[in-house]
Amino acid sequence: MTSSYRVVWKGPVHRSSGLGIASREYVKALRRQGVPTSTTPAASGGSGSRKVLVYHHAPHTLNVKKERKLYNRIVINTVWETTRIPRRWIAKINQADAVCVPSRQNKQALRNSGIRIPIFIVPHGVNIREYRAKKKRAASRPKGKFTFISVFGFQHRKNPEALLRAYWEEFSASDHVELIIKTNGYAAYENQQWIHNRIKAYKARLHVRKSTAPIRLVSTHLSKAALKAVYAKGDAFVLPTRGEGVGLPFMESMASGVPVITTGWGGQLDFVTAHNSFLVRYRLQPPVASMNRHSSIARQFCQLFAEPGQLWAEPDITSLRKQMRLAYEHPQLCAAKGAQARKDIQKQSWGRSGALLKQAIERIL
């Protein structure tokens, strides 16, 4: 049966970032739903078919007037991490026919910001068959080290300073534990040595006197297989993030059967629960409050996260330490939460995402 409409997808489909991964997966998911979907406008042909543009770049870069001449409907697909979206996005989004976001937190942020058009929740997914569940640990302390893992871009929103401080203050060299951090910078000079130096200087400012547990830092590009191997090493994934639209590494960790220790606020709360993870207490505050602290060690992106009215979470260090200690001392609890995490994250398939996106498009048509 020939579809009565065609989709042109404009997004970062060639990028290796989380946004790029999502863009590619959405396109494939729509195609599996039988929706003709092209990533090149010139190939969008099909006389008699209605054309729908799905715009997956920053909303303020959309030329609505130009695209209205080419498409019957315009759908914006976006994601955000604070309680309000950037002001320059608002007018452009309200000129579209609908907007799709991946989480309940995002939908609320758009409503808080004055978005009046229909908002559809179209979650991200994870290909669970690509990840292997971690083998169950014995109830007693295993011979190998307990391994915390963390995967994130080296930016202020991800809160690397809280992760490091909690780990240094809670664990010493006498604990049988390690922390593997897979991270990356956002400029050529933000390489492994630069990140290492930032971490070293921060530790010196904290005046940490005891002999601390080891940290392994990886900031080089990893293949898909190598990144999966990092997840497979983990007993618990830990990231005290200040704000997430979704949190793709959380999904990948859970697919690997590794429970998550994270902030109890953000888009990840659509699938991260107290049953499959360890939630850290927090308070909401303006992003500039933490950006102005001497403890800030990573790129801040102030142009995005410093507008009046925006709030995000500030995790409680004591709560973070407590949850990390709980995970470390109870490997059997980690194994049980990890098994539940893998079971729960199966619901977050890209097939489901494609079906929900197709429904949203057909609603506005």
> At the top level of CATH, which class does the domain 128-346 belong to?
alpha beta
Do 128-346 and 5-125+349-363 fall under one CATH topology? yes
What percentage of the chain has pLDDT greater than the value 70?
Answer: 95
- Identify the three-state secondary structure at position 326: helix
Amino acid at 354: G
Name which of 12, 118, 11, 134 is nearest 73 in CA terms: 118
5-125+349-363 belongs to which homologous superfamily?
A: Glycogen Phosphorylase B; (3.40.50.2000)
What pLDDT, on a 0 to 100 scale, did the predictor assign at position 16? Answer: 84
**What would the mean pLDDT of 185-213 be, rounded to a whole number?**
93
Give the model confidence (pLDDT) of 303-358 as tens digits.
899 899 999 999 999 999 999 999 999 999 999 999 999 999 999 999 999 999 99
What pLDDT, on a 0 to 100 scale, did the predictor assign at position 73? Answer: 97
What one-character-per-residue DSSP string does 181-222 give? EEEE-SSTT-SHHHHHHHHHHHHHHHT--S-BPPEEEE-S--
Q: Grade residue 135 by pLDDT with cuts at 50, 70 and 90.
A: low
The domain spans of the chain are: 5-125+349-363, 128-346
